[in-house]
């Protein structure tokens, strides 16, 4: 059974010299165990520490036989220097203590049970057993959390007896050889082996970001402390860069984006108008070039959308019937259609083409279309089909 590490009681205990007592070689490197370790190993909703042993990066951590093993690339012996990444320890400890604070408030004030904790490099949060949750409640919760942070209540680490623990938690939470609890005033008392800040002011501030419904309740996302400062700093930098490119003041970025979107929409509409005019002229020229009522052709200078528009115009405005293929970017798109003056079934003919070239598609007796990978023999095949229609 894992033993409690008393070094975790001090969140800024991040360096230590300790003697190597075991070394295990594996494919990724060497697992090094020391007499003692200040490294936190993932558990309780808190990620493992990052850091070094004798300036070698610790790639992984694990508990085994009552000791912490550190995975490094080279073998080590004697007394080694352990150094935890202080900035990363600070962020994840602030997050974990903030989770205790927010969940304690939601447990006691709103009677919402804690389902799980989660966090990553972007944001953190908890899944809570609310039956309903909204923005007003999220804002209220944020104000309550920050009010307690301003009070700077101590975050106490205690080692209770089983009888003492049972005054606060359920029996199943006390099924351990040694018990460790975290106490925040009258807000939170929970069994926890994680690193904690010494008092709430070290969380600095909590900002709730968003929430989403789950099958068990609601996931509530937040930022706090150094992660809040880093994230908002990056977001401000990105927003400032966008404002500069939009040539607007920072706080008018949204208006600048709206203007750009409207300009883009107008440009796309103008582009579509020109395409429509081009296709209409293309259809007129094609109708004049092909005097016969049935047009069999391969077109390689239009995209698929413009091609289908062309075919529609030819059939509708010029009383033409078509067996045409569009060759665009290694793809083929076939349209078979006829004006009222001809009576062949377009969908039946397309089935033959589709079967021959493994095309997908379909349609009506008047117009059918579809496509797939382009093959050089498609036009010749359409010409053979056309012989039976004239």
| Residue 329, domain member (yes or no) | yes
**Containing domain of residue 103, as a range?**
89-232
Alpha helices (runs of H) in the chain, residue ranges in sequence order: 86-110, 135-151, 162-165, 225-246, 253-289, 304-317, 346-357, 378-387
DSSP, res 209: E
| Residue 147, domain member (yes or no) | yes
Q: What are phi and psi of 189, to 5 degrees?
A: -145, 110
Note whether 35 and 104 are same-domain residues: no
Sign of the Cα torsion 65, 68, 73, 76 reads negative
| Residue 185, domain member (yes or no) | yes
What average pLDDT does range 39-44 have in this prediction? 92
Query: What's the CATH code of the domain at 354?
Result: 3.10.310.40
Query: What's the CATH code of the domain at 71?
Result: 2.40.30.130
Note whether 121 and 214 are same-domain residues: yes
Whether the Cβ atoms of residue 379 and residue 296 lie closer than 8 Å to each other: yes
Separation CA 163–CA 155 (nearest Å): 21
Alpha helices (runs of H) in 182-252, residue ranges in sequence order: 225-246
Note whether 199 and 303 are same-domain residues: no
Note whether 223 and 306 are same-domain residues: no
Identify the domain boundary among 166, 201, 232. Answer: 232
Overall number of domains in the chain:
3
Q: How confident is the model at residue 99 (pLDDT cuts 50, 70, 90)?
A: very high
Q: Which of these, 11, 199, 176, lies nearest to 100 by C-alpha position?
A: 199
| Residue 51, domain member (yes or no) | yes
Q: How confident is the model at residue 2 (pLDDT cuts 50, 70, 90)?
A: low
Edge-to-edge strand list for the sheet holding 181-184: 155-158, 181-184, 188-191
Note whether 210 and 311 are same-domain residues: no
pLDDT attached to residue 169: 83
Note whether 110 and 226 are same-domain residues: yes
Please check the confidence at residue 83 and state whether its pLDDT lies above 60.
Answer: yes
Residues 6+ apart with CB under 8 A from 231: 122, 123, 223
Mean pLDDT of all residues in the chain? Answer: 94
| Residue 37, domain member (yes or no) | yes
Note whether 76 and 115 are same-domain residues: no
Sign of the Cα torsion 101, 102, 106, 107 reads negative
Query: What's the CATH code of the domain at 120?
Result: 3.30.980.10
């Amino acid at each position: 059974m894992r033993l409690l590490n008393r070094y975790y009681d001090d969140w800024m205990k991040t360096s230590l010299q300790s003697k190597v007592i075991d070394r295990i070689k594996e494919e990724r490197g060497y697992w090094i165990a020391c007499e003692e370790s200040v490294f936190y190993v993932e558990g309780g909703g808190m990620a493992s520490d990052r850091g070094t042993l004798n300036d070698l990066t610790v790639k992984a951590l694990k508990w085994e036989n009552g000791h912490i093993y550190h995975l490094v690339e080279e073998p080590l012996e004697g007394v080694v220097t352990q150094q935890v990444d202080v900035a990363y320890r600070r962020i994840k400890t602030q997050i974990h203590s903030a989770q205790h604070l927010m969940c304690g408030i939601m447990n006691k004030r709103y009677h919402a049970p804690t389902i799980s904790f989660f966090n990553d490099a972007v944001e953190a949060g908890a899944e809570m057993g609310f039956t309903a949750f909204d923005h007003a409640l999220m804002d209220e919760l944020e104000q309550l959390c920050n009010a307690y942070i301003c009070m700077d209540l101590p975050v106490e680490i205690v080692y209770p007896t089983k009888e003492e623990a049972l005054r606060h938690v359920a029996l199943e939470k006390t099924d351990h050889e040694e018990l460790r609890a975290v106490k925040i005033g009258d807000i939170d008392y929970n069994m926890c082996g994680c690193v904690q800040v010494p008092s709430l002011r070290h969380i600095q501030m909590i900002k709730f970001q968003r929430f989403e419904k789950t099958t068990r309740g609601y996931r509530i996302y937040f930022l706090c402390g150094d992660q809040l400062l880093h994230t908002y700093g990056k977001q401000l930098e990105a927003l400032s860069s966008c404002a500069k490119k939009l040539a607007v003041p920072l706080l008018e970025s949204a208006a600048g984006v709206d203007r750009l979107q409207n300009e883009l929409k107008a440009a796309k509409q103008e582009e579509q108008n020109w395409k429509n005019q081009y296709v209409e002229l293309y259809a007129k020229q094609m109708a004049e070039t092909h005097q016969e009522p049935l047009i069999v052709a391969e077109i390689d200078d239009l995209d698929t959308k413009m091609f289908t528009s062309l075919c529609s115009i030819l059939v509708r405005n010029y009383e033409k019937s078509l067996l045409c293929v569009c060759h665009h970017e290694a793809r083929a798109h076939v349209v078979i259609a006829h004006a009222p003056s001809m009576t062949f079934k377009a969908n039946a003919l397309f089935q033959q083409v589709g079967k021959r070239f493994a095309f997908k598609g379909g349609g009506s007796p008047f117009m059918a279309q579809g496509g797939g990978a382009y093959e050089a023999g498609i036009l010749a095949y359409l010409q053979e089909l056309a012989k039976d229609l004239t």
